[in-house]
C-alpha cells in the first residue's frame, strides 16, 4: 500500500490552488460582486445559488448546502476519494504527491502503484485486441450483436475477450519472475496447489472495471455459453481493487452526465451496458455485493435520488433490503432511495430490449418509495391484526428508525408506522430514541454563544486571529467550545490562512462538519465592524473567565484561603472593574 500523504503537502496544495480556476475548469462561472456564481452542479436548479469566494478559497451552495475547498470540489464533482482528489489537484498544479514511509506494513512508492495501473490498462487493451483479432472473435462479436450491443457501445465500455487458452495473458505479459508476481498479485493469473500458474480469466467476455479516475482496477468476465459456469467471474480483492468501493459503470456514467437527477443501481455488467445502449446512461452495478455504505455515499454525492433495481426473486429482495439498511444512516433531507423489482425472469437488459428506454424509465418512475418498501418488507410475516404482531413490527422497526439522522425521514417512517398500527404518532415518538445531540458548535445561529460567535468569525476571517494575543487561560473557560477556539486562535495568530486552508487543518477530526457549517454562518456583521466585533467578543470571553475564576475562589472555604488566593481574588476584582485582564 502507499504511504500517507504528508499534511504539510496538503496544506501547501490548498494554499497554491485557486478555487475559481478549479471550479471554472468544470463549471462555467459568472462574476457576482467580489464572488462568482453558477447553477449548482450538485443539484438541479434554474436560479444560481452556488457561490465561489476567491478570498476565502471556498465554495458554497445555498440550495443544497454543498461546500468546501478545492479538494472537496474535486471529490464531489469528480466522485473521488480524498487521496485521489489530492492526486488530481496536484497534477493540475504540476506537482508530485509525496508519500510518508509508515510502519503499518509494507509501503509501495508511487512508481510501483503507477506500474500496476499501467499493467491493468495493458491487459484491458489486450482483451480488446483479442475481441477484434482472435480466431473466435467473429462468434464473440456475433454474441454481442445478438445481445443488442453495437461496436460503439462495446468500445465505450472497453469490452474485450479473454482467450480460451490457459496461458494467453501469462505468455503476453510474463516471462520475468517479478512481472509474474505482479500479475499474480493483480489476479490476472492464478496459481494452483502444485504451483502451476495460468490465466485467471479464460474464454469470457471481459468488462474492465474502472475507478473514479478512469483507471482499470479489475475485470468482470461473463460466460458466452450457458454450459459454462460460473456465469460471472469477478476479479478478487487486490491491492488496486476493492469491490466494496467500486461501482461498474460509474466512470462511464460521469462521462455522459456529471449531475444526473437520479442514479440506478442494477445487478450486472450487461445490464449497465444494455441500458446505455438504449440511452439510459445513469446506471451502475455493484460488483457481486449489495450496495455498501461507501457505494451509497458516492452515489448520493452525485444525485439526490438512488433507485435500486433488482430482480424480484429472493436474492434480489435480499440485496435490496441490505441496501436499505446501509442507506438509513446516510440519508439526508433532500435525498431519497427507491426500489424497483422486475418481474420473474426479467432483468434491466431484457426489459429495455423489449420495452425500450421509455418503457424502462416508466418503470423507474413507478419505483416503490422508501416508507412503503420498509414496512412491506418488515410486515411480510407479521399478522398486524393481532397485538403480538403489532408489537413485533415496532420491535423490528425501532432500531432501524433510530439509525436515521434525517428528521424528515424519521418523522415519515413514524407516521407510516402509526398509520399501520392505528396509533397516534405522539405515542410512538416516545418509544423511539432521539438522535444524539450534535457536537459543538452546531447550535442554531439564533442561539449562538460568544464562543461559537468567535469561532465563526475566526473561520471566515482568519486574519482576525492576529489582532489579539493568544491567552491560554481561555482553555479553562467553562463554555462549550473554548478549547477549540483557543486551538484555532493559536493557528491563525502565528500563520496566515484562508478559510479553506484553516478548515483543511481540521479534516478528519470529530469537529470537522460543525466547523464547516460555521464557516457558512450568516453572521450579519458589516465589514467595517468586523474587527471591532471580534475584539469585543474576545474581551467578553476573557472577562467571563475572570468572573468564573473569581466565583470559584470566592466559594473556597475560609480555612482553605491562602494569601496567594486572596491576592488573586483582589487582582481579579480590580481587573473586572477596570475591564482589563491581569498579567499572567
DSSP 476: G
Q: Are residues 67 and 40 in the same domain?
A: yes
Question: Is residue 181 in some structural domain?
Answer: yes
Q: What value does the mean pLDDT take over residues 98-127?
A: 82
Question: Is residue 493 in some structural domain?
Answer: yes
Tens digits of per-residue pLDDT, 500-530? 999 999 998 989 988 998 988 887 888 888 8
Angle 103-104-109 from CA coordinates, rounded to 5°: 75
Q: Are residues 327 and 266 in the same domain?
A: yes
Q: What value does the mean pLDDT take over residues 10-30?
A: 93
For residue 266, the model assigns a pLDDT of: 95
Measuring CA to CA, how many Å separate 48 from each of 61, 75, 133, 256, 500?
Answer: 9, 21, 51, 23, 22
User: Which of the given ranges, 118-132, 234-248, 324-338, 428-442, has the highest pLDDT on average?
Assistant: 118-132
Residue 84 has pLDDT above 60, yes or no: yes
| CATH code of residue 389 | 1.20.50
Confidence of residue 226 (pLDDT cuts 50, 70, 90): confident
Q: Are residues 285 and 388 in the same domain?
A: no
For residue 487, the model assigns a pLDDT of: 93
Measuring CA to CA, how many Å separate 346 from each of 230, 349, 462, 495?
Answer: 19, 8, 59, 62
For residue 106, the model assigns a pLDDT of: 56
Residue 156 has pLDDT above 60, yes or no: yes
Question: Is residue 479 in some structural domain?
Answer: yes
Q: How far apart are CA 19 and CA 42, in angstroms?
A: 16
Q: Tell me if 360 sits within 8 A of 282, measured CB to CB.
A: no
Question: From the CB of residue 131, how many other CB atoms can be counted at a distance below 10 Å?
Answer: 23
User: Which of the given ranges, 159-168, 387-396, 478-487, 553-562, has the highest pLDDT on average?
Assistant: 159-168
DSSP 210: E
Question: Is residue 247 in some structural domain?
Answer: no
Q: Tell me if 241 sits within 8 A of 235, measured CB to CB.
A: yes
Q: Are residues 453 and 574 in the same domain?
A: yes
Q: How far apart are CA 104 and CA 210, in angstroms?
A: 27
Q: Are residues 71 and 146 in the same domain?
A: no
Confidence of residue 434 (pLDDT cuts 50, 70, 90): low
Q: Report how many domains make up the chain.
A: 5
Q: How far apart are CA 207 and CA 108, in angstroms?
A: 27
Q: Are residues 124 and 218 in the same domain?
A: yes
Question: From the CB of residue 345, how many other CB atoms can be counted at a distance below 10 Å?
Answer: 9
Residue 441 has pLDDT above 70, yes or no: no
For residue 2, the model assigns a pLDDT of: 61
How many angstroms separate the most distant Cα atoms in the chain? 101
Q: Are residues 465 and 537 in the same domain?
A: yes
Residue 437 has pLDDT above 70, yes or no: no
Question: Is residue 451 in some structural domain?
Answer: yes
Domain C-terminal end among 92, 121, 150 = 92
Tens digits of per-residue pLDDT, 299-315? 988 888 999 999 888 88
Q: Which of 178-187, 224-233, 318-327, 426-435 has the lowest mean pLDDT?
A: 426-435
Q: Tell me if 457 sits within 8 A of 524, measured CB to CB.
A: no
SS3 sequence of 236-295: CCCCCCCCCCCEECHHHHHHHCCCCCEEEEECCHHHHHHHHHCCCCCEEEECCCCCCHHH
Q: How far apart are CA 119 and CA 188, in angstroms?
A: 10
Q: How far apart are CA 27 and CA 4, in angstroms?
A: 31
| CATH code of residue 503 | 1.10.860.10
Task: Identify the residue whose cell numbers are 398500527.
Answer: 421
Tens digits of per-residue pLDDT, 241-286? 998 889 999 999 999 887 788 999 999 899 999 999 999 999 999 9
Question: Is residue 557 in some structural domain?
Answer: yes
Nearest to 11 by CA among 561, 507, 580, 557: 507
- Cα–chain-centroid distance for residue 20? 22
| CATH code of residue 262 | 3.40.1360.10
Question: Is residue 408 in some structural domain?
Answer: yes
Q: Are residues 347 and 389 in the same domain?
A: no
Q: Are residues 346 and 469 in the same domain?
A: no
Nearest to 482 by CA among 515, 522, 455, 521: 455
Q: Are residues 360 and 408 in the same domain?
A: no
* Mean pLDDT for all residues in the chain: 88
Measuring CA to CA, how many Å separate 294 from each of 74, 125, 163, 297?
Answer: 17, 29, 34, 5
Query: What is the residue range of 412's domain?
Result: 384-431
C-alpha cell at 171: 505468455
Q: Tell me if 459 sits within 8 A of 503, measured CB to CB.
A: yes
C-alpha cell at 522: 450568516
Q: How far apart are CA 199 and CA 296, in angstroms?
A: 33
Q: How far apart are CA 74 and CA 34, in angstroms?
A: 23
Q: How far apart are CA 455 and CA 435, in angstroms?
A: 25
Question: Is residue 566 in some structural domain?
Answer: yes
| CATH code of residue 210 | 3.90.980.10
Nearest to 8 by CA among 99, 138, 72: 99
| CATH code of residue 73 | 3.90.580.10
Q: What value does the mean pLDDT take over residues 38-50?
A: 86
Domain C-terminal end among 64, 92, 120 = 92
Q: Are residues 219 and 138 in the same domain?
A: yes
Q: Are residues 273 and 221 in the same domain?
A: no
Residue 4 has pLDDT above 90, yes or no: no
Amino acid at each position: 500500500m502507499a504511504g500517507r500523504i504528508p499534511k504539510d503537502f496538503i496544506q501547501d496544495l490548498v494554499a497554491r490552488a485557486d478555487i475559481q480556476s478549479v471550479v471554472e475548469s468544470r463549471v462555467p462561472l459568472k462574476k457576482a460582486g467580489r464572488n462568482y456564481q453558477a447553477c449548482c452542479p450538485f443539484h438541479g436548479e434554474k436560479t444560481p445559488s452556488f457561490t465561489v469566494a476567491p478570498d476565502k478559497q471556498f465554495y458554497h451552495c445555498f440550495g443544497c448546502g454543498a461546500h468546501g475547498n478545492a479538494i472537496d470540489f474535486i471529490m464531489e464533482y469528480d466522485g473521488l476519494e480524498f487521496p485521489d482528489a489530492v492526486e488530481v489537484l496536484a497534477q493540475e498544479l504540476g506537482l508530485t504527491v509525496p508519500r510518508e514511509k509508515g510502519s503499518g506494513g509494507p509501503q509501495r512508492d508511487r512508481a510501483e502503484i503507477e506500474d500496476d495501473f499501467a499493467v491493468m490498462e495493458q491487459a484491458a487493451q489486450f482483451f480488446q485486441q483479442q475481441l477484434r483479432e482472435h480466431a473466435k472473435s467473429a462468434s464473440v462479436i456475433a454474441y454481442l450483436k445478438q445481445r443488442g450491443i453495437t461496436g460503439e457501445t462495446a468500445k465505450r465500455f472497453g469490452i474485450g475477450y479473454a482467450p480460451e487458452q490457459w496461458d494467453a495473458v501469462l505468455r503476453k505479459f510474463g516471462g520475468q519472475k517479478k512481472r509474474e508476481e505482479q500479475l499474480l498479485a493483480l489476479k490476472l493469473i492464478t496459481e494452483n496447489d502444485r504451483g502451476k500458474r495460468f490465466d485467471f480469466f479464460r474464454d469470457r467476455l471481459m468488462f474492465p472495471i474502472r475507478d473514479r479516475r478512469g483507471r482499470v482496477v479489475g475485470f468482470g468476465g461473463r460466460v458466452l455459453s450457458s454450459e459454462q459456469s460460473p456465469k460471472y467471474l469477478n476479479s478478487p480483492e487486490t491491492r488496486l481493487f476493492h469491490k466494496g468501493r467500486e461501482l461498474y459503470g460509474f466512470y462511464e456514467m460521469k462521462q455522459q452526465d456529471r449531475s444526473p437527477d437520479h442514479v440506478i443501481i442494477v445487478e450486472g455488467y450487461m445490464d449497465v451496458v444494455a441500458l446505455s445502449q438504449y440511452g439510459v446512461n445513469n446506471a451502475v452495478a455493484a460488483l457481486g455485493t449489495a450496495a455498501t455504505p461507501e457505494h451509497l455515499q458516492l452515489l448520493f454525492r452525485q444525485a439526490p435520488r438512488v433507485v435500486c433495481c433488482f430482480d424480484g426473486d429472493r436474492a434480489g429482495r435480499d440485496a435490496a433490503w441490505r441496501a436499505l439498511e446501509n442507506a438509513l444512516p446516510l440519508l439526508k433531507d433532500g435525498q431519497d432511495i427507491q426500489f424497483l423489482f422486475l418481474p420473474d425472469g426479467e432483468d434491466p437488459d431484457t426489459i429495455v430490449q423489449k420495452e425500450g428506454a421509455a418503457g424502462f424509465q416508466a418503470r423507474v418512475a413507478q419505483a416503490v418509495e422508501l416508507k412503503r418498501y420498509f414496512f412491506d418488507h418488515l410486515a411480510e410475516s407479521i399478522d398486524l391484526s393481532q397485538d403480538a404482531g403489532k408489537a413485533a413490527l415496532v420491535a423490528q422497526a425501532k432500531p432501524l428508525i433510530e439509525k436515521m439522522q434525517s428528521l424528515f425521514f424519521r418523522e415519515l417512517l413514524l407516521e407510516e408506522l402509526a398509520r399501520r398500527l392505528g396509533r397516534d404518532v405522539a405515542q410512538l415518538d416516545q418509544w423511539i430514541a432521539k438522535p444524539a445531540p450534535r457536537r459543538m458548535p452546531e447550535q442554531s445561529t439564533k442561539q449562538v454563544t460568544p464562543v461559537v460567535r468567535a469561532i465563526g468569525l475566526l473561520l471566515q476571517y482568519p486574519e482576525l486571529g492576529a489582532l489579539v494575543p493568544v491567552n491560554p487561560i481561555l482553555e479553562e473557560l467553562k463554555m462549550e467550545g473554548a478549547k477549540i477556539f483557543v486551538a484555532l486562535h493559536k493557528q491563525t495568530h502565528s500563520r496566515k490562512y484562508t478559510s479553506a486552508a484553516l478548515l483543511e487543518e481540521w479534516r478528519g477530526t470529530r469537529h470537522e462538519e460543525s466547523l464547516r457549517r460555521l464557516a457558512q454562518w450568516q453572521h450579519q456583521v458589516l465589514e467595517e465592524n468586523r474587527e471591532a466585533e471580534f475584539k469585543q467578543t474576545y474581551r467578553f470571553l476573557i472577562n467571563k473567565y475572570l468572573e468564573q475564576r473569581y466565583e470559584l475562589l470566592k466559594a473556597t472555604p475560609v480555612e482553605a484561603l491562602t494569601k496567594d488566593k486572596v491576592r488573586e481574588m483582589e487582582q481579579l476584582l480590580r481587573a473586572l472593574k477596570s475591564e482589563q485582564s491581569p498579567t499572567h
